[in-house]
Structure 1
Amino acid sequence: MALQFELLPVTPFMQNCTLLWDEQSRAAVLTDVGGETERLLGEVAARGLDLQAVWLTHGHVDHVGGVVDLTKQVDVPVLGPHADDDFWIQQLPAITQAYRFPFSPPFTPTRWLNEGDTLTLGEHVFEVLHIPGHTPGHVVLYCAAAKLLVAGDVLFLESIGRTDFPRGNHADLIRNIREKILVLPDDTRVITGHGAMTTIGHEKRHNPFLR
């Protein structure tokens, strides 16, 4: 059965939280829960889905600021990002205040993710790729069978993630995109962390940062 998804932009930064679900089992996950918990849980309930987990690509506030609020309401595991982003998550109290986001205490994910780990949603398997550069612990999630990549803030439509944050690294980001992402099939659909979706083929042809 098909893997379904819906992009749900949250926070003033319009970050793409993604609701992913398995059509047959109705099992679902939410990726990058930056905020707006009531709305997100309402979207899950409206589709009659069974929320199984939260998956996180990296530790920036617009991607993780709503995690504690959501897990207080629904007891689900939090998977990801890579442990190298723990320093971002531990700064959440100060960062939420600085950006005038709803307060979030720090948290520790149920499980950190590493290169080569796999996540499952019903019958669908996602491979974890560690892509440091935007943040040191950034991961992306690739489902080969569905030709779908949850890319967080690594790759955007004709752009790439910023690398001017603490522990960002432009050379690392470009190298990891080239070696791990651009080698995926051209027709792989890419869910970006902000804005419109794209494909691997489109970015190979049109992304000025990757030429």
Structure 2
Amino acid sequence: MSLQYTIVPVTPFQQNCSIIWCDETHEAAMVDPGGDIEQLKAKVQTLGLKITKLILTHGHLDHVGGTAPLAAELAVPVIGPHRDDAFWLQGLPEQSQMFGFPRTEAFEPDQWLAEGDVITVGNQSLLVYHTPGHTPGHVVLFSETAKLAFVGDVLFKGGIGRTDFPKGDYQTLIDSIKGKLWLLGNDVTFIPGHGPQSTFGQERASNPFVADEMPLY
């Protein structure tokens, strides 16, 4: 058995919504359903999956915009992000206006996440890491068995998340990446919130923001 995933880019920002599932039970979750919910539902139906929860890495509109209507329609709980992003979720109507998106109402998740929490998807487990910097309540989800991490807007192939939003902090973000993500292993593949996937080892070797002296074997 293993954790499977597929990526569906949504919203004008091409945000990577990940549909993840346990191939043994076909129970599934959506990570960051930012919008285009008809497209997401169609993909789930094509794959023959049963969504049991929606998981949020942080509170920015392009990651959470489709969450409340999807949760209501599918009758599933919303899990995450960390409580420190509550102000972003409460400010969704203002975010909508700022980015020219359709109005999105404020909401609160059914469960906030904290460092060390474990989320189950069927027989698979995701470990939660609190990774502030891009936003104060950002979390990363890690599957040890699949060597796979869903990192939202913390890290990108060749880049890192912006830190010029309210309560963002550059050094805090660098510390989250180097102090938490790198410890998970160079062989971990990560799915960022935007753009192509990469590995932690590749970014340690070549990412201009967070590369180190590690030799890449």
**What TM-score, normalized to structure 2?**
0.95
Deviation at 1:2, TM superposition (A): 2.0
Match of 2:159 in 1: 159
The residue aligned with 1:50 is 50
Q: Which runs of 5+ in 1 are unaligned?
A: none
Q: What is the correspondence of 1:15-164 to structure 2 with a 5 Å cutoff?
A: 15-164=15-164
CA displacement, residues 174-200 of structure 1 (integer Å, 9 cap, x when unaligned): 011111001111110100000000001
Taking the aligned partners of 1:66 and 1:102, their CA distance within structure 2 comes to 11
Aligned residue pairs, count: 211
Looking at structure 2, the residues matched to 23 and 103 of structure 1 have their Cα atoms a distance apart, in angstroms, of: 36
- Which residue pairs with 2:215 in the alignment? none
**CA offsets, 1:46-85, max 9 Å, x none?**
1110100000000000001111121221110000000000
Aligned-residue offset at 1:167: 0.3
Give the residue type in structure 2 aligned to 1:24.
Answer: E
Report the alpha carbon displacement of residue 97 of structure 1 after superposing the two structures with TM. Answer: 2.2
DSSP 3-state at the match of 1:109: coil
Report the alpha carbon displacement of residue 3 of structure 1 after superposing the two structures with TM: 1.2
Structure 1 vs Structure 2 CA RMSD: 0.8
CA distance in 2 between counterparts of 1:72 and 1:82 reads 21
**1:7-18 counterparts in 2 under 5 A?**
7-18=7-18
SS at match of 1:16: strand
* SS at 1:112 equivalent: strand
Counterpart for residue 188 of structure 2:
188
2: CA distance between counterparts of 1:56 and 1:193? 11
Q: How many Å separate the matches in 2 of 1:44 and 1:105? A: 25
Q: Confirm whether residue 198 of structure 1 aligns to residue 198 of structure 2.
A: yes
Matched AA of 1:129: Y
d(CA) in 2 for partners of 1:185 and 1:175? 16
In structure 2, what residue type is equivalent to 1:181?
Answer: L
- Residue type of the alignment partner of 1:163: T
Determine the C-alpha separation between the residues in 1 that align with 2:164 and 2:94: 19
Contact 2:2 2:145 in 1 (8 A): no
In the superposition, the TM-score normalised over structure 1's length comes to 0.98
Percent identical: 48
Match of 2:214 in 1: none
CA distance in 2, matches of 1:165, 1:153: 12
User: CA contact under 8 A between 2:129 and 2:140: conserved in structure 1?
Assistant: yes
